[in-house]
Amino acid sequence: MAEEKIENINIQPNLNNELNTPIWLSVSEAAKIGGVQTKTIRRAIQFNNVKYKIIGNRYSIDLFSLITFLQTKTKLKNKLNQFGLGQYVDKWK
């Protein structure tokens, strides 16, 4: 009978708050998550306030950079917390 060798694989969580696979959102999805209008997202793209890429003729916005951008100004932060994703989060770090 052949003996099987099973290796111990050590899987550790990523603790440095970086995603291995970023989440990309469309402009309309980003606006809904942020509780803002699409023109706010397009303005953030125009001034390079969010990380984005262009696929075909569509913008894709990185979720982490979107949340970071929306936390920069009080008005945007309030919209995020009242109308966007923040209404479902108990406490931001």
Q: What is the pLDDT of residue 86?
A: 84
Domains and their CATH numbers in the chain: 24-87 (1.10.1660)
3-state class (DSSP) for residue 54: strand
Helix (H, G, I), strand (E, B) or coil at 1: coil
DSSP SS3 for 68 = helix
Separation between Cα atoms, residue 91 and residue 5, nearest integer Å:
46
How do the pLDDT tens digits run along the chain, 93 residues long?
555 555 555 555 555 655 578 899 999 999 999 999 999 999 999 999 999 999 999 999 999 999 999 999 999 999 999 999 888 887 765
